[in-house]
Amino acid sequence: MKQTDILIIGTGIAGSIAAITAADNGNRVTVLTKTDDIVSGSTSIAQGGIIYKAPDDTPEKLAADIMTAGAGHCWEPAVMQLATLGPKLVEDLLLSRFNVDFDKTDNHLDLTAEGAHSLRRIIHCKDITGRHIIKAIHKTLVEHPNITILTNHIAIDLLTLSHHSKNSVDIYKHPACFGAIVFDANSGATFPIFAHKTILATGGLGQIFLHTTNPREATGDGIALASRAGVRCFNLEYIQFHPTAFYNEHYQQTRFLISESMRGEGGKLIDKNGNEFMQRFHHLGSLAPRDVVARSIQTVLQETSAPCVFLDITAKGEDWLQNRFPEIFTNCLQMGVNISNEPIPVIPAAHYSCGGIGVNLNGRTSFQRLYAVGEISCTGVHGANRLASTSLLEALVWGYTAGNDVCISKEDDDYFPPIYDWVSETEDMDNILMVQDWSSIKNTMWNYVGLFRTNQRLQRAIKMLTELKIEIERFYKRTKLSREIIELRNGIETAIAVTNATIASPVSRGAHYIINNE
Ligand code: SIN
């Protein structure tokens, strides 16, 4: 029997910080990642940066910006925890302990701006901040004597008293999680990992949408695990669409991110005729909150019958751009666009889930012994629309508080009931079905649960997704397990959870926008 003190699912910044913190406190920690490299997921492709502090900054000023962007729907205690503890952890952990090589100007950390920030307070490593941060943290993660890392391992389901215990009376106890059933893609084996505490750090869900800035891994696994177990999730209707993903008519699926910090450095949004348009929609122009910019772009596209708008940063010149935004410069060049002498074609794409598994200030969920951290969680910080560059900071803060909180033991934390044996299926996967099912999920979500929602579209979406789920469950039940089939099952579960939350939320707020309400 595999047993650990703390099981952590995900190796992004949130999972890694939780793992190191819990391990520092003497726990035996097992960390899973479904990929073959621990550097994967959204952290590793984060571009813009992480909030630190401006010279004249205060927690109250940061909190005010977060709450304005969040459209009045943020949870103030969570916002204040982020605003007070966040900059301190950037200093203690990222700068002092992990020595992340943030960019400096004249020996001072270079501070950049992004949409809806009242001050320049974001630190960065050119436009590849996430990769620098995670690589620095991982040096400690892989060397820590109390941490075991299992790559190519994906959680199939959480082990819960109500669903998996052979002791039928466990159903009367407070809902609790005692680990997960895991598929090892290296060997094809399926087995339970029993854990005193489990922390979900599985990242985002952008892959349920046709167009996304998220990596291939972002299939909403954590929401699916939580939904099937009955763990409380909320705010799932607040899907943030990033205003500026690269647009190429021949490579519609290739919508890589064009960082908001490009607008922070002076880039302007223009329409196909070269006219700036954002001042018409918001006094902050191209640096308005993301939900406003994304919807404004969509409106301009309809007005001009164009497939994209443009981000013009040509004023900066080639040397400056290559130095400040090397990754974006190269990626665009590979797509045939030299950003120093022509504007970048851009369009919105699904970027971040502001909602998720509901947690308290220490990452505790509605289930005992179960935590969630990072994008998969909903701390209440982001409200209805996330302020730029808060995601890495939130993951850092909650990774840290959860990593400490798991050390508080309670009665029953070491209860591991007998469970039923896993039954393996043998039928080979039908790839055509898999591809078509994903296409149906992505198109349905993009067209009916996207930037502009209507009741009619949402009703159509839930009907189609519910029927598809029946088929996918049938397919899943008889097919030999693989990461792909597990992700598909998670994708449909998460799409339904997001759509149901959207239907249940009749009021437009932040990133959730209902056109009519008949
Ligand atoms: C960006 O660089 O535009 C993304 C930053 C974020 O999502 O906070």
> What whole-number distance in Å separates Cα of residue 291 and Cα of residue 511?
5
Q: Which of 124, 261, 396 to mutate to test the pocket of ligand 1 (most atoms within 8 A of CB)?
A: 261
Domain membership of residue 170 (yes or no) is: no
CATH number for the domain that contains residue 491: 1.20.58.100
Domain membership of residue 509 (yes or no) is: no
Q: Which of 391, 394, 396 to mutate to test the pocket of ligand 1 (most atoms within 8 A of CB)?
A: 391
Q: What is the pLDDT of residues 312-367, one digit of tens each?
A: 999 999 999 999 999 999 999 999 999 999 999 999 999 999 999 999 999 999 99
Domain membership of residue 93 (yes or no) is: no
Atom of ligand 1 nearest to the CA of 392: 8
Q: Which of 269-273, 312-316, 394-398, 419-423 has the lowest mean pLDDT?
A: 419-423
What is the pLDDT, as a whole number, of residue 234? 98
Give the Å distance between the CA of 110 and the centre of ligand 1: 17
Say yes or no to pLDDT of 254 above 70. no
Say yes or no to pLDDT of 240 above 60. yes
Q: Which of 242, 352, 354 to mutate to test the pocket of ligand 1 (most atoms within 8 A of CB)?
A: 242
Q: Sorting pLDDT into bands at 50, 70 and 90, what band is 252?
A: low
Domain membership of residue 288 (yes or no) is: yes
Ligand 1-lining residues (CB < 6 angstroms):
47-48, 257, 259-261, 352, 388-389, 391
What is the pLDDT, as a whole number, of residue 253? 66
Residue-range definition of the domain harbouring residue 286: 246-348
Mean pLDDT of 162-180: 96
Q: Which of 327, 348, 369 is the last residue before a domain boundary?
A: 348
What is the pLDDT, as a whole number, of residue 200? 98
> What whole-number distance in Å separates Cα of residue 196 and Cα of residue 407?
10
Atom of ligand 1 nearest to the CA of 258: 3
Q: Sorting pLDDT into bands at 50, 70 and 90, what band is 479?
A: very high
> What whole-number distance in Å separates Cα of residue 132 and Cα of residue 327?
13
Atom of ligand 1 nearest to the CA of 114: 3
CATH number for the domain that contains residue 275: 3.90.700.10
Give the Å distance between the CA of 127 and the centre of ligand 1: 10
As beta bridge partners, residue 216 has none
The tokens for 216 are 């291939």
> What whole-number distance in Å separates Cα of residue 392 and Cα of residue 201?
13
Domain membership of residue 20 (yes or no) is: no
Domain membership of residue 450 (yes or no) is: yes
Domain membership of residue 474 (yes or no) is: yes
Q: What is the pLDDT of residues 360-406, one digit of tens each?
A: 999 999 999 999 999 999 999 999 999 999 999 999 999 999 999 99
What is the pLDDT, as a whole number, of residue 135? 98
> What whole-number distance in Å separates Cα of residue 518 and Cα of residue 512?
17
Give the Å distance between the CA of 260 and the centre of ligand 1: 6
pLDDT mean across residues, the chain:
96
Give the Å distance between the CA of 117 and the centre of ligand 1: 12
Q: Which of 257, 262, 263, 291 to mutate to test the pocket of ligand 1 (most atoms within 8 A of CB)?
A: 257
Cβ count within 10 A of residue 420: 9
Burial class (CB in 10 A: 0-12, 13-18, 19+), 71: buried
Q: Which of 299, 327, 348 is the last residue before a domain boundary?
A: 348
> What whole-number distance in Å separates Cα of residue 445 and Cα of residue 465?
9
Give catalytic residue positions.
290
Q: What is the pLDDT of residues 20-51, one digit of tens each?
A: 999 999 999 999 999 999 999 999 999 999 99
Q: Sorting pLDDT into bands at 50, 70 and 90, what band is 248?
A: confident
Provide φ and ψ at 36, rounded to 5°.
-85, -5
Atom of ligand 1 nearest to the CA of 352: 7
Domain count, the chain: 2
Atom of ligand 1 nearest to the CA of 386: 8
- Per DSSP, helices labelled H in 37-128 are 59-69, 76-89
Provide φ and ψ at 408, rounded to 5°.
-80, 115
Give the Å distance between the CA of 203 and the centre of ligand 1: 15
Give the Å distance between the CA of 286 and the centre of ligand 1: 14
Mean pLDDT of 222-240: 98
Q: Which of 332, 348, 364 is the last residue before a domain boundary?
A: 348
Give the Å distance between the CA of 113 and the centre of ligand 1: 11
Domain membership of residue 325 (yes or no) is: yes
Say yes or no to pLDDT of 144 above 60. yes
Q: What is the pLDDT of residues 102-139, one digit of tens each?
A: 999 999 999 999 999 999 999 999 999 999 999 999 99
> What whole-number distance in Å separates Cα of residue 73 and Cα of residue 307?
32
What is the pLDDT, as a whole number, of residue 411? 77
Burial class (CB in 10 A: 0-12, 13-18, 19+), 285: middle
